[in-house]
Amino acid sequence: MAITDGIGIGCSDLQAVGGTRHILIREWKVDDLVAVAGASNTVFRIQEAGGADANWGVYESKIESSSLTFTASNEGKDTTTFECNLTFNLPKLDRLKAIRLKELEGKCLMIIVIDSNNDANPYANNWIMGISDVYANAYTNYRNQTYARLASIEGGTGAAFSDESGQTVTLTCTQYVSPMTYSAASGQAGIVIDPVNGLTATTD
């Protein structure tokens, strides 16, 4: 990729805040339809077989507890490895949370992290783990073995009444491109979070 321009920093960049607003997770399916524009670091389609909307679970977390981090290292020539980690906290141990987390075990995942910065589209500031167009298998919708996965769950009841009951979840992936952004093509609905329960979402 040729160097055609530089990087500027504006007032809105200096006012950016940390943390996340929404975490969307789904399992990769064999016949998922994914389209990537590598030059713009954008995913512009995430659908299920036949062009149906892809379904996601929306995971809430304790405010100011979740973060997406990534570390890049150059492996020589044109290869740069990005180690990505998403960590979020679920307060209070309970059976339903345990069931939802068990659903992540041993699965190949794709994740959309929507950060805390708002613009005209509240879901525009998003970052994807588990989708990449670098070293993709031919004709397989960018399924290139760089899926996201459940790395660890740490938690407990605490001892003192003031201790926290809950668990911290870490999802991870190793990929060969920096986290991309999902930006729906013209005429598509994009990210739609259920307005009733807020715990399911779709993309197209």
Single pTM value for the model:
0.91
Segment 145-193, tens digit of pLDDT: 889 999 999 999 989 998 889 999 999 999 999 999 999 988 899 999 9
Question: Given this model, what pLDDT does residue 142 score?
Answer: 64
Q: Return the percentage of the chain with pLDDT > 70, whole number.
A: 96
CA atoms within 13 A on the CB side of 14: 4
For 28, residues 6+ apart whose C-beta sits below 8 A from its C-beta are 108, 109, 110, 130, 143, 147
For residue 38, the SS3 value is helix
pLDDT at 126: 95
Which alpha helices (H) appear in the chain, and where do they start and end? 11-14, 95-102
- Give residue for tokens 């500031």: 125
Higher pLDDT, residue 12 or 51? 51
- Assign 157 to helix, strand or coil: coil
Nearest to 173 by CA among 66, 79, 71: 71
Measure the CA–CA gap between 185 and 33, rounded to whole angstroms.
14
- Of the pLDDT bands very low, low, confident and very high (cuts 50, 70, 90), residue 97 is very high
Q: Is the pLDDT of residue 82 over 70?
A: yes
